[in-house]
Amino acid sequence: LAAGDAAALTAAFEPLHAADIADLLEQVDDETRHALVRLYGREIDGEILSELKDSIREDVIAALEPQVLADAVRELETDDVVDLIEDLDEAQQDTILDALEASDRVAVEQSLSYPEYSAGRLMQRELVVAPEHWDVGQAIDHLRAQEDLPEQFYHMILVDPRMRPTGYVTLGRLLSAPRATRLADLAEESFRTIPVMQDEGEVAYAFNQYHLISAPVVDADDRLVGVITIDDAMAILDEEHEEDILRLAGVGEGSLSDGVFATTLRRVPWLAVNLVTAGLSALVISQFEETIAALVALAVLMPIVASMGGNAGTQSMTVTVRAIATKDLTSANLWRVIRREVLVGLHNGIVLALPLGLLVALIFGAPMLGAVIGAALVINLLVAAAGGMLVPVALEKLGVDPALASGVFVTTITDVVGFYAFLGLAGAMLL
Amino acid sequence: LAAGDAAALTAAFEPLHAADIADLLEQVDDETRHALVRLYGREIDGEILSELKDSIREDVIAALEPQVLADAVRELETDDVVDLIEDLDEAQQDTILDALEASDRVAVEQSLSYPEYSAGRLMQRELVVAPEHWDVGQAIDHLRAQEDLPEQFYHMILVDPRMRPTGYVTLGRLLSAPRATRLADLAEESFRTIPVMQDEGEVAYAFNQYHLISAPVVDADDRLVGVITIDDAMAILDEEHEEDILRLAGVGEGSLSDGVFATTLRRVPWLAVNLVTAGLSALVISQFEETIAALVALAVLMPIVASMGGNAGTQSMTVTVRAIATKDLTSANLWRVIRREVLVGLHNGIVLALPLGLLVALIFGAPMLGAVIGAALVINLLVAAAGGMLVPVALEKLGVDPALASGVFVTTITDVVGFYAFLGLAGAMLL
C-alpha cells in the first residue's frame, strides 16, 4: 500500500475513525509514518491530529504543509486546539494560532494563559447560554437562529445578568417541555460549577463521582468562562490512571513510540535510587558476615524473608495508594484501616510462617532454624503491612505523590527489616 | 449527631449529593452505619443505594424496611436497578423485583439474562427512538407527547421498520434545525452500535477511543435492545483500571471496608505463590554454598543483583501490561517494542554496572569482584527487560490476564537469573 498509491490509501482510510488512523500512525515505524503522512497529507484532519500522542504529533505537524495544517485546525473546537498545541514548540504554536480565525485565536490564547493541568486548559469556550428568565420557546428560537453552535452540547446554561451561571437545563427536558415553560422550572437539581483554576484530576473526580455530563467553568468572580464535557473528563481519568500505574512501577510517563535513549533516561533514576537502597540492605547483611560464615544456610534462606516482606508491603501500599487516589481513605476511617492492615499482616505472617518454618526445619534438620525463619517472617510481614500503609499516608500529608515515591521506601524498609530480623535472630539463637 | 436526632441528620444530609452520602456510609464503622441507616432510613433513596459498594449495599438493604426499599428502587432507571441487584442474594433480588412495576421488572429480568460483564447488563432499556423518515417537527411533537422519558438522554436513535438502528441525531442538532428538516439529514457521521454480548471492558474502550456519548445496543439480529451512556462507560473504565492496578500488585479485588479475614484470604494466595518461587531462588543459592562459604562477601552483595533485576523487570512488565490493556501494543509494533526494551535493558545495565562495579572494587579492595557484579548486573537487566516484555505478551496469547500473573513469573526469572549469574560468575572467576 505504501508503494505510492495515494488514492488507494485514502480509500483504505475512509471507513476508519480518526482515533484508529492516529493509532495506526503511532504504531508503525518512523519511515512508514513519514511515507504515510506524505501520501495522505492533504486528507489529514484536525481530529486525527488531536488523537495523536504528543511525541508523534510534533513529528506529523512538522511534516504537513502549512495550508493543510491551517485547514485541519480551523475545524476543531477551541479545547481541542488548546490540547493540540500546548505541548508544541513556540514556532509550531504560532503557525497554528495564525491559522485560526481571530475570535478563536483569542479564546485559545486565553485558555493557554491558565496553568497547565487546570480546568481552564480543558474547557471549551463555545457556550450555549440563556438568560434565566427565558422560556422554552425563546430558547429554541434562539438556538435555531444561531449559526455557530458547538458540535457537541448537552445542556443550556442559565445565567443571570452578570453572566453568573445559576443552573442548567438538559436538552432532553428542553425538547420535551411545552414552549411556554420557564427554563428556570426545568433546571436540574444537581448543578455544580467548576473553578477555572481547579486541577484537572479534581475535575475528572467530580465528573465520575457526581455523574456529570457537562459542567460550567467559572472564574474567581463566579462568572461563566467555559464548559467542560464528560468526554474530556474521561480522557483525563484515563491519563491519571495511566500515571498512577506507571509511577507505582517507577516508570516515568512516556509512550511505546519513544526512542531507546529517552526511555533509558526515564527509567534509570528509579533504578539508581534502588541501587542505593539495595546498598543499604548489603550494609545490613555485612554486619552479619561472621554469622553467615558460621552457617552458610542463612545466606540461602535470607532472600526468602526479604522477598516475602517486599511483596506483602507492595500489596498493602498499592491498596493504600489507590484508596488515597479515589478518596476512599479519609481521617474518618484511617485508624480503622491501619488496624485492619496490621491484623492482616499478622495473620498472613502466621499462616505462612508455619509451613515455611516446618519445611526449613525438616530440610535442614534444624528445628531452631525453622523457628528463627518463621519468627523473622512474622515480624517482616507485620512491618510490611504497617509500612505499606503509613508510608503513602505520610507522603500524601507531606504533599508528595504517594504513587511516585512509596515503592522505594516500602521495599527498603522490608529488605532492611527482613535481613536484620532473620540474621539477628539467627545470630542470637543459633550460634 | 448520631445521638438520635433524625431531623437534624436529615437536615445535615440535605445539601449532600447521593454519592457523598454513600461514601460517608462506607467510611464509618459498622455500628455507626447501622445507627445512621436506622435514623435516616426513610430518606434513603435509590441513588444512594446505587452509589454504595457491594459489600456495604447488602448490609444497608437488609436493614431497610421493605416499603422504603420499594420506593427507593422504583425511581431508578433499569440499568441502575440491574447494577443494584446483580450481586445481591436471591431473596433480596426477589424483594426488589417485586417492588418494581411490571414493565420495569420484565426489562430488568431480561438484562439479568445476559452474562455478567456484558453490554446487556450495562444498557438501559428506556429508549428514545424515531423512524428514520420522520422530520424534526414530528420528532419534537413526539417527545413532548411522551410521559415517561428517560432522565438522561443525548441522542434520538433512528430505526428502520424492523427496529434496526440506522443512525442517531444529537439533541443539539434536533433543537437547532428547522422543523421541516429530515432527521436522516441530521444524523451523525460517527455512528456505532454495540453488540449486546460485548464485554464491558470493550464497551468502555470504544467510548474512550471514539468519544461516544451514548451508543445503541443491538442483538444478534441487529435489532435495537437498549442504549449505553458514557457515564456508565466511565464507571467501567474506572473499575477496570482499579482491577489492573490491584492485580499487578497481587491484591484481589475488594474494598477498604472488607473485614480482616476476607482481606487475608484474598492476599495469602499470591504470597504463597511467592513463597514457592522464593524457594526456587533459595535452591539456586544452595548450589553455591561452597562458593559463599569461601567468600562471604558474595552473600552480602547478591541481593543487590536480584533486587535491581526485579525492579527493571517490573518496569518493563508494567509498561507492557498497560500497552496491552490500551491496545497500543499490536503485531504491527511488537518486534520494534521488544527490540527497544532489550536495548533499554542493555543501556540501563551498562550505566548502572559501572558505578556499582567501581564501588564494589574499591570497598572490597577486589577489582575482579567488581567486574563480576557488574557483569552479572548487565546480564540480569537484559533478561529483566526481555522477560518483562515477553511474559505478559505470552500470557495474553494464552488467554490469561497478564496483569494477574506476570509479576510472579517476571520476578522469579530475575531472582533466579540474578543469583545464578552472580554466584556462577563468582565461582568461575574468583575461586
**Distance of CA B197 to CAs B59, B119, B215, B217, Å?**
31, 6, 14, 9
**Interface contact A311-B256, CB threshold 8 A:** no
When CB atoms are compared, the residue of B23, B272, B303 closest to A281 is B303
Number of neighbours of residue A247 by Cβ within 10 angstroms: 21
pLDDT at B4 over 70: no
pLDDT at B70 over 60: yes
**Chain B residues with CB inside 8 Å of A307's CB?**
274, 278, 281, 411, 415
In chain B, what is the straight-line distance between the N-terminal and C-terminal CA atoms, in Å? 75
**Distance of CA A387 to CAs A77, A410, B420, Å?**
48, 6, 31
Give A28→chain B minimum CA distance, Å: 6
**Interface contact A234-B207, CB threshold 8 A:** yes
**Interface contact B210-A19, CB threshold 8 A:** yes
> What are the pLDDT digits (tens) for A81-129?
888 888 788 888 888 888 888 888 998 999 999 999 999 999 988 899 9
**Interface contact B282-A301, CB threshold 8 A:** yes
Q: Mind giving me the DSSP string for B260-324?
A: HHHHHHHHHHHHHHHHHHHHHHHHHHHTTHHHHHH-THHHHHHHHHHHHHHHHHHHHHHHHHHHH
> What are the pLDDT digits (tens) for A338-351?
999 999 999 999 99
d(CA A148, CA A138): 18
Q: CA nearest B100: which of B122, B69, B138, B128?
A: B69
**Chain B residues with CB inside 8 Å of A230's CB?**
213, 230-231, 234
**Interface contact B281-A307, CB threshold 8 A:** yes
What pLDDT sits at residue A3? 61
Give B237→chain A minimum CA distance, Å: 8
What pLDDT sits at residue B2? 52
Q: CA nearest A321: which of A409, A258, A225, A383?
A: A409
Q: Mind giving me the DSSP string for A356-387?
A: HHHHHHHHHT-HHHHHHHHHHHHHHHHHHHHH
Read off the pLDDT band of A37 (50, 70, 90). confident
> What are the pLDDT digits (tens) for B53-68?
877 888 888 888 878 8
pLDDT at A1 over 60: no
> For the domain bounded by A129-230, which CATH number is listed?
3.10.580.10
- Name the β-bridge partners of B156: B169
Read off the pLDDT band of B3 (50, 70, 90). low
> What are the pLDDT digits (tens) for A140-175?
999 988 877 887 888 999 999 999 999 999 998 888
**Interface contact A344-B278, CB threshold 8 A:** no
- Name the β-bridge partners of B195: B218
> For the domain bounded by B6-113, which CATH number is listed?
1.25.60.10
Q: How many CB pairs under 8 A join A and B?
A: 326
d(CA B13, CA B11): 6
**Chain B residues with CB inside 8 Å of A29's CB?**
333, 336
Q: CA nearest A384: which of A357, A415, A358?
A: A415
Q: Are the C-beta atoms of residues A8 and A39 closer than 8 Å to each other?
A: no
Share of chain B above pLDDT 90, in %: 50
**Domain at A260-430, CATH class:** mainly alpha
**Chain B residues with CB inside 8 Å of A356's CB?**
275
When CB atoms are compared, the residue of A24, A152, A307 closest to B172 is A152
pLDDT, average across residues B85-101: 84
**Chain A residues with CB inside 8 Å of B19's CB?**
209-211
Give A306→chain B minimum CA distance, Å: 9
Q: Mind giving me the DSSP string for B8-49?
A: HHHHHHTTS-HHHHHHHHHHS-HHHHHHHHHHHGGG--HHHH
Q: Are the C-beta atoms of residues B391 and B319 closer than 8 Å to each other?
A: no
**Interface contact B144-A178, CB threshold 8 A:** yes
Is A366 or A188 the better-scoring residue by pLDDT? A366
Which pairs from A406-410 meet CB under 8 Å and 24+ separation? A406/A248, A406/A317, A406/A320, A406/A321, A407/A248, A407/A249, A407/A250, A407/A314, A407/A317, A408/A250, A408/A270, A408/A273, A408/A274, A408/A277, A410/A310, A410/A313, A410/A314, A410/A316, A410/A317, A410/A384
d(CA A425, CA A429): 6
**Interface contact B234-A237, CB threshold 8 A:** yes
Share of chain B above pLDDT 70, in %: 99
When CB atoms are compared, the residue of A170, A299, A322 closest to B285 is A299
Give A405→chain B minimum CA distance, Å: 14
Share of chain A above pLDDT 70, in %: 99
Closest CA in chain A for residue B317: A249
Longest dimension (CA), chain B: 94
Q: Which three cell numbers stand for residue B74?
A: 422504583
Give the helix, strand, coil percentages of chain B, each rounded to 5: 70, 5, 25
Number of neighbours of residue A91 by Cβ within 10 angstroms: 8
**Interface contact A144-B174, CB threshold 8 A:** no
A224-229 and B194-195 beta bridge pairing: unpaired
Q: Are the C-beta atoms of residues B26 and B257 closer than 8 Å to each other?
A: yes
Are A129-230 and A260-430 in the same CATH fold? no
**Interface contact A172-B178, CB threshold 8 A:** no
Closest CA in chain A for residue B322: A242
Helix ranges, A226-296 (H): 230-248, 260-286, 289-294
Q: CA nearest A328: which of A200, A208, A194, A196?
A: A208
Closest CA in chain A for residue B150: A172
What pLDDT sits at residue A74? 84
> What are the pLDDT digits (tens) for B131-151?
999 999 999 999 988 877 887
How is residue B115 annotated by DSSP? P
Mutate which: A154, A236, A247, A253, vs B, most B CBs within 10 A = A154
When CB atoms are compared, the residue of A23, A308, A328 closest to B278 is A308
Read off the pLDDT band of B391 (50, 70, 90). very high
**Chain A residues with CB inside 8 Å of B248's CB?**
245, 248-249, 318
Closest CA in chain B for residue A53: B328
When CB atoms are compared, the residue of A251, A271, A319 closest to B319 is A251
What pLDDT sits at residue B200? 93
pLDDT, average across residues B227-238: 91
- Name the β-bridge partners of A130: A158
**Interface contact A248-B249, CB threshold 8 A:** yes
- Mean pLDDT of all residues in chain B? 89
Read off the pLDDT band of B293 (50, 70, 90). very high
> What are the pLDDT digits (tens) for A216-248?
999 999 999 999 999 889 989 988 888 888 888
**Chain A residues with CB inside 8 Å of B270's CB?**
311, 315
Read off the pLDDT band of B198 (50, 70, 90). very high
d(CA B303, CA B415): 9
Give A33→chain B minimum CA distance, Å: 12
pLDDT at A390 over 80: yes
pLDDT at B52 over 90: no
> What are the pLDDT digits (tens) for B333-362?
888 889 999 999 999 999 999 999 999 999
When CB atoms are compared, the residue of B261, B281, B329 closest to A303 is B281
Mutate which: A179, A189, A245, vs B, most B CBs within 10 A = A245
When CB atoms are compared, the residue of A250, A302, A322 closest to B315 is A250
Mutate which: A20, A151, A171, A337, vs B, most B CBs within 10 A = A171
Domain topology for B129-231: CBS-domain (3.10.580)
* Domain range annotation of chain B: 6-113, 129-231, 260-430
If you average pLDDT over each of A24-33, A250-259, A343-352, B91-100, which comes out highest? A343-352
Q: Which residues, including other chains, have CB under 8 Å from residue B11's CB and lie 6 or more apart?
A: none
Number of neighbours of residue A147 by Cβ within 10 angstroms: 5
Give B127→chain A minimum CA distance, Å: 12
What pLDDT sits at residue A4? 63
What pLDDT sits at residue B309? 95
pLDDT, average across residues B195-205: 94
Mutate which: A151, A290, A304, A363, vs B, most B CBs within 10 A = A304
If you average pLDDT over each of A62-76, B82-96, B402-416, which comes out highest? B402-416
**Distance of CA B426 to CAs B240, B369, B374, Å?**
46, 7, 11
Q: Which three cell numbers stand for residue A218?
A: 467559572
What pLDDT sits at residue A333? 86
d(CA B272, CA B290): 29
- Mean pLDDT of all residues in chain A? 89
What pLDDT sits at residue A137? 92
Q: CA nearest B317: which of B251, B254, B249?
A: B249
**Interface contact B237-A234, CB threshold 8 A:** yes
pLDDT, average across residues B378-392: 96
- Name the strands in the sheet holding B155-159, side by side, starting at the edge strand that comes first in the sequence: B129-131, B155-159, B165-170
**Interface contact B282-A274, CB threshold 8 A:** no
pLDDT at A7 over 90: no
Closest CA in chain B for residue A314: B249
**Interface contact B146-A176, CB threshold 8 A:** yes
pLDDT at A355 over 90: yes
**Chain B residues with CB inside 8 Å of A340's CB?**
259-260, 263
What pLDDT sits at residue B132? 92
Give A429→chain B minimum CA distance, Å: 20
Q: Which residues, including other chains, have CB under 8 Å from residue A166's CB and lie 6 or more apart?
A: A132, A158, A159, A160, A184, A187
**Interface contact A275-B308, CB threshold 8 A:** yes
**Interface contact A260-B344, CB threshold 8 A:** yes
**Interface contact B175-A347, CB threshold 8 A:** no
